[in-house]
Amino acid sequence: MKIEFRSDNEIRVSGYVNAVERDSRVLPPEMAAGEDKHFVERVSAGVFARAIKRHPDVRLYFNHERELGSVSGGTLTLTEDNIGLYAEATVTDPEVIAAARANKLRGWSFGFENARAQWEDAGGGTGLRRRIITDLDLDEVSILTKCPAYAGTSISVRALSKGAVHTVVCEQRTADDEPPIVRAEQKDIGAKPDAEKATEQAQAKRALLERQLEILRFGHGR
């Protein structure tokens, strides 16, 4: 998760909500209806892209409890690339900004329903089965300040009263490994054009490096 302070009243939060074609950590059986053994879960490539196309107006929430914005409102952008579901959100909510300043933002989550899935042997002599989600309806993505009940895993799922399912991605961090925070720099009005161009190029290179590092973290995480 990348957090950029654009002003005292606005931040931009971005990062991968979920990586496709990669197994989750081992999940307990109650996380899937009718399952009686622990299992791993994987979202197939293209699932998020189709879901966004069918339902483009996905909402942005804070801890799945309070709406912060939406795609149609211009505060949320969602795309699926070869890594997974990537989100960019502009937030002006004072509580979220305060949490960001206190280094309390912990990750992303997404809410979905009507999941279609296939099951197979996970292999590797584990005795586990793999649930492969081949389609779903994406309802919302959330910015989190708290980890789910299953704090020992990086991914947890909880059923909601309306039958929807939330898959929560919550990275475990130490005090020395907080989400990277990038503070917006004020431009010098009197700066020369060449200096401004050099600054913009440096910022672009830094942003690219941060995204590459985030991709590497996912490659070693799930």
Q: Please name the residue that has the structure tokens 């009197």.
A: 190
Residue 43, token pair as written in the block = 């979202």
Residue 152 has pLDDT above 60, yes or no: no
pLDDT in tens, 118-149: 999 999 899 999 999 999 999 999 898 876 43
pLDDT at 71 over 70: yes
What is the reported pLDDT for 109? 83
Q: Output the pLDDT for position 218.
A: 52
**What share of the chain has pLDDT > 70, as a percent?**
66
Q: What is this structure's pTM?
A: 0.69
What mean pLDDT comes out for the span 24-29? 82
Return d(Cα 87, Cα 152) in angstroms, integer. 25
Cα separation, 17 vs 167, in Å, equals 10
Q: Which amino acid would we find at residue 47?
A: V
Q: What is the DSSP letter of 30?
A: G
Residue found under tokens 């980890």: 147
- Give pLDDT, residue 213: 55
Three-state SS annotation for the chain: CEEEEEECCEEEEEEEEEECCCCCCCECHHHCCCCCCCEEEEECCCHHHHHHHHCCCCEEEECCCEEEEECCCCCEEEEECCCEEEEEEEECCHHHHHHHHCCCCCEEEEEEEEEEEEEEECCCCCCCEEEEEEEEEEEEEEEECCCCCCCCCCEEEEECCCCCEEEEECCCCCCCCCCCEEECCCCCCCCCHHHHHHHHHHHHHHHHHHHHHHHHHHHCCC
* Per-residue pLDDT, 205: 56
Q: What are residue 218's phi and psi, to 5 degrees?
A: -65, -35
Neighbour-count burial for 201-218, b at 16+ CB within 10 Å, e otherwise: eeeeeeeeeebeebeeeb
